Amino acid sequence: MSQKASRVSTDIDYEKDGKQSGFLRVPHSRNESAWGTLMVPITVVKNGSGPTVLFTGANHGDEYEGPVAEMKLARQLTADQVSGRIIIMHALNLPALRAGTRLSPIDSKNMNRIFPGDRNGTITEVIAHYVHSELLPLSDAVVDLHSGGKSMTLMPCAVIHQLPDPAQMTKTLAALEAFGAPLGLVLEELDAEGMLDTAAEETGKVFVSSELGGGGTISVETQAIADIGVRNLLKHFGVIEGEPVSRSSLGLAPTRLMQVPDGRHFVAARASGIYEPFVEIGDEVTDSQAIGQIHFFEEPERPPMVLEAGRGGTVIARWIPGHVTSGDCVAVTAVGYTPS
Ligand code: CA
């Protein structure tokens, strides 16, 4: 018997004009459900020829602005508004979103560290494999919306990476600006292997991500940024009509382009205890400036461990919980973007 390309099945016809809402059916046989299936929602809106934009959300299950913006888009869009194709998977890691956790509670896998996935792997790997083998080849642009999750908060930003191909970088940078977030970030990842980002970039797609806040919640500001951003990108790519809503037309400062050029901009805890921050998101810090300290609550006479910024800049991310464990990333700084 010949093997199917993916173990995931769907009734969606990606080549059909019109709007389709359905599911990716991922086999999920388990103790509670012998012939069970994980039903991952998917919406496809297609009209004629034009670019294909793939939207994903809940890659991490405790990040909510993306899924909400994408569900609104899926409900509101009609086929006649579209020139091209929009594929929306607002609950990419559905088990994680159900649980409100970063990782899948089924296999403890981090969706954004397992691309290109594995058709014969665990459930998170099977979903990733479907996206990589079936949806990425259809797509011209991929928009994967993240927020900080329960442990981090970030200055709301759209995110791209420095790319080796100048033409791809120029197109990606233009999309970053079109999103219209307060901050447009060119990020050097600490661990880029296995990310959807890397998989999309390596196949030549325009890839835009975001970090829209965090703390495992939604704010009025961050949701508005996501809602406007997804439509701005569709206008920018020419898939829906109109010009992107500029920040100036909303009385807001223009998008600030910044970069995190290397690992020295990430500050890690080197002990476990209670974390007391000295700086907030948006504060400016210098090289080696003290940015927080760790208190040893079982040794009250022991002086706290002071943590210093590696490279100075604007604090764009910080740790949220009161408790910190050695190795946790407690702060990230960024500097102005200089094209390389
Ligand atoms: Ca994330």
If you count them, how many residues does the chain have? 340
Side-by-side strand order, sheet with 290-295: 305-308, 290-295, 273-277, 323-324
**How close is the Cα of 60 to the center of ligand 1, in Å?**
5
Angle at 35 between CA 30 and CA 36, to 5 degrees: 65
d(CA 75, CA 70): 9
CA 146 to ligand 1 center in whole angstroms: 5
The alpha carbon of 299 and the centre of ligand 1 are apart by a number of angstroms equal to 34
What is the 214 CA–ligand 1 centroid distance (Å)? 9
Find the 203 Cα to ligand 1 centroid distance in Å: 21
Q: How do the pLDDT tens digits run along the chain, 340 residues long?
A: 567 899 999 999 999 999 999 999 999 999 999 999 999 999 999 999 999 999 999 999 999 999 999 999 999 999 999 999 999 999 999 999 999 999 999 999 999 999 999 999 999 999 999 999 999 999 999 999 999 999 999 999 999 999 999 999 999 999 999 999 999 999 988 889 999 999 999 999 999 999 999 999 999 999 999 999 999 999 999 999 999 999 999 999 999 999 999 999 999 999 999 999 999 999 999 999 999 999 999 999 999 999 999 999 999 999 999 999 999 999 999 999 998 7
Three-class SS of residue 141?
A: strand
Q: How far is the CA of 58 from the centre of ligand 1 (A)?
A: 8
Rounded to a whole number, what is the largest CA-CA distance in the chain? 70
Which of 180, 185, 158, 160 shows the shortest CA–CA distance to 231? 180
Cα(177) to centroid(ligand 1), Å: 20
300 CA distance to ligand 1 centroid (A)?
35
Calculate how far, in angstroms, residue 63's C-alpha sits from the geometric centre of ligand 1.
7
